[in-house]
Structure 1
């Protein structure tokens, strides 16, 4: 850390000291999250190698991926969608709490990235009606910070949500796939690299990510990976 950065960090701590968003104690390690709450974050260390589903046993693949491989090449979700990360995610996504979003982005940046780094990150887009209502795309905010860490482009103008779909909450896996069928398109005239990542905040059944991946495949992308901040332990546990 250079001298100007250290000075600015010290000034921030003096004027606006870090404060844990979960319990109110003093924040630690340059975040609005204390050391105790950070220690409780549910990391996704034992999971399916293809879809990142948390697994109780040391099995390489979950039953679903053994029966049928997903459309993406690899998946990465460093956290499980559980307490206390799920509270921060809910505040960020639905409560317009940008401070919670900054904590989540910082946590993700500090995780060990996959060896195969993509050439571009593409956040899952929101339809303009939902974007207008929410005010921002939470996937885009997370994608920007990761792209900056990896020094690769983050493109929010590549993948378009062409159809306003019903909210995925409350739908089972089959209903989610039907709800999203034909909902995305690739912008005309965009040159895409051979390896891209589609990024979302939470990976539940994978229906949204899968439809985005298929759309990019049809546009000629050779390799598409799926990244999410958190993986729901079982379908339906999140959005």
Structure 2
């Protein structure tokens, strides 16, 4: 490990400065990250966007996601740079800012990858993130409640075709009722993926859905 650090030192994803092996950004670049300062139990931009698509109880985004931003580079390294330990770092940042005292969920659920995509990447970028939250908050986590049915996004030419595809994109693997589910994903963009998963949970029983994402576009 010492030789690897010597010849291939860990560098800040933003400025390329050499940093400790467990870090992803230097202190100076950390101060440039656009954190949202959302309150989980209060209305915010993410909860308003979710409410246009499905009934959401609470919502929280850790960071803002913009082109060429530090947050984009961090999540890109997590998803495509084989640096899954970044998930734990993001979870720790989230724990510093997320207050669940008033509305603690019963279950954490991650948005799944298709099995083919999981095999290609080698890991789901959400698992270590969610597991860290689960362990610290003492909330059970289920990575298998939701199944992704398709490998690629449908190339729908019509709105109706896209709606039908979204309705069948995911399926639920077991019955759950009377649960407050915290649904976890990396980036909230259009909200179509989150909405498709949320409706599967809502249709399964008398459940409530809240949302937690690493970043929102």
TM-score (norm 1): 0.71
Distance 1:166 1:20, change over 3 A: same
Please, what is the CA RMSD of the aligned residues? 3.4
1:5 is matched with which residue? none
Distance 1:175 1:42, change over 3 A: farther
1:49 is matched with which residue? 43
Counterpart pick for 2:184 among 155, 176, 199 = 199
Distance in 2 of aligned mates of 1:201 and 1:84: 15
Q: Deviations over 1:189-233 (max 9, x none)?
A: x5455211110011111111111110001110421111101110x
Q: Deviations over 1:89-126 (max 9, x none)?
A: 01111222224334323322322334311011000011
Distance in 1 of aligned mates of 2:161 and 2:77: 26
**Which consecutive unaligned segments of at least 5 residues does structure 1 have?**
1-14, 54-60, 233-239
Distance 1:178 1:22, change over 3 A: farther
**Which consecutive unaligned segments of at least 5 residues does structure 2 have?**
none
Counterpart pick for 2:152 among 162, 165, 180 = 165
Distance in 2 of aligned mates of 1:174 and 1:140: 33
Distance in 2 of aligned mates of 1:191 and 1:175: 29
Q: Deviations over 1:55-88 (max 9, x none)?
A: xxxxxx57x95xx463322221121013111101
Q: Secondary structure at the match of 1:70?
A: coil
2:141 is matched with which residue? 154
Distance in 1 of aligned mates of 2:71 and 2:201: 30
Q: Secondary structure at the match of 2:168?
A: coil
Distance 1:19 1:209, change over 3 A: same
The number of equivalent residue pairs is 205
Counterpart pick for 2:91 among 105, 109, 112 = 105
1:180 is matched with which residue? 166
Q: Runs in 1 of length 4+ with deviation above 4 angstroms?
A: 15-19, 173-179, 190-193
Distance in 1 of aligned mates of 2:205 and 2:82: 36
Distance in 1 of aligned mates of 2:148 and 2:160: 20
